[in-house]
Structure 1
Amino acid sequence: MISSENARPANEGLNEKEPVKIILAEDDKDDQELFIDALEAADVPSEVVTVENGQELIDTLRDETQPDPDIIFIDVNMPVKGGRKALEEIKSDKELKDIPAVMLSTWNHPSDIEDTFDKGADLYVQKPNSFGGFVLILKKVFFLHWTKALLDPVKKLFFVSERNI
């Protein structure tokens, strides 16, 4: 289960917006830290809960004691239950299907992107090679989230990488 140290508010001092409740499903601890640091640098007030695989993500989403997230970020390649399988379960669950799901991957292969789009992902983000790139990507993702553009993803805007920001 998730320990309380996994939930960390980012940008606690900012009061312009209600903090975004985020679940990050990512098995790499360094990538978890990079994500949280990039959120802070992007000035996204947030509360992040981290899980390390797709099964923990499903369990957390179904846990009545946990608040519903505003958005979830799912690494495509994780142990126990991969991101695609978790996405499929989330989008086929009537209680969870409306939570925006952003897929994260180092790969940008068109068939992977197409597959996650078909399974109901709202956005596919290629993990950037730099911290600055991650900050820019998160700014774009949250701009899309706050403008409700993730509610009905358009295929040509579905893939985000450092090169197309």
Structure 2
Amino acid sequence: MNKEYLNIIVADSDEENVLLFKNICKDLKIGIKLQTFNNGDILMEYLNDPSHIIPEVLFMDYDIAVQNKPKCLEEIKLDDRLNNLITVIYAEKLSEHGIEDVFVKGANIFMLKTDNYDDIKKRISDAVIMNWQYHTSGLNKDNFIARI
């Protein structure tokens, strides 16, 4: 399935992080339709509504993905409608055990978020470009995991 853009959701309660994602996505050479959510309840309400478009990529702050109620990552991976959704979980700091746990719970990508703008821009760009390649080539996403 070839499309001219990716539907991307960013779920983060920190408005500065959301703004960062918006600015970086504008700079990319890939067409992106970006939606943002500031908490897990609103995100899950959106994703559970069958009338809404399921994004190809979901960037989710670790706190929303794993720690908060609802535990969004677990709910997403249990829903057959959301099977093709690539989940990118990011955090500023997470132990090796925590990173492993994120993958066990179903994340496709773990991204370490840094304070360096150029570094985080490259990481977000890499995640989006990887997803774009899978999206446009029809590659199987079932076993797709990465750490950037």
Same fold (TM over 0.5): yes
Whichever residue aligns with residue 102 of structure 1, its letter is V
In structure 1, how many angstroms separate the alpha carbons of the residues matched to 2:47 and 2:122?
27
Instruction: State whether structure 2 residue 26 is matched by structure 1 residue 40.
Output: yes
| Structure number having the greater helix percentage | 2
Letter of the 1:39 partner, please give it: C
Does structure 2 retain, via aligned residues, the 8 Å contact 1:123–1:150?
A: no
Structure 1 vs Structure 2 CA RMSD: 2.2
In the TM superposition, 1:22-41 aligns within 5 A as 22-41=8-27
Residues 34-58 of structure 1 show CA distances to partners (whole Å, capped at 9, x for unaligned) of 0110112233321111111122111
Structure 2 residue corresponding to 1:94, chosen from 73, 80, 104? 80
Q: Which residue is equivalent to 1:104?
A: 90
Distance 1:20 1:147 in 2: 11
Task: After the TM superposition, list the runs of 4 or more consecutive aligned residues in structure 1 that deviate by more than 4 angstroms.
Answer: none
Whether 1:82 aligns to 2:68 is yes
* TM-score, structure 1 as length reference: 0.76
Q: Aligned residues: percent identity?
A: 25
Structure 1 unaligned spans of 5+:
1-16, 161-165
TM-score (norm 2): 0.84
Q: Is the 8 A contact 1:25 1:51 kept in 2?
A: yes
Paired with 1:78 and 1:32, the residues of 2 have a C-alpha distance of 13
Shift of the alpha carbon at 1:106?
0.8
Partner of 1:57: 43
Over 3 Å counting, the alpha-carbon distance change for 1:127 and 1:86 in structure 2 is same
Alignment partner, residue 12 of structure 1: none
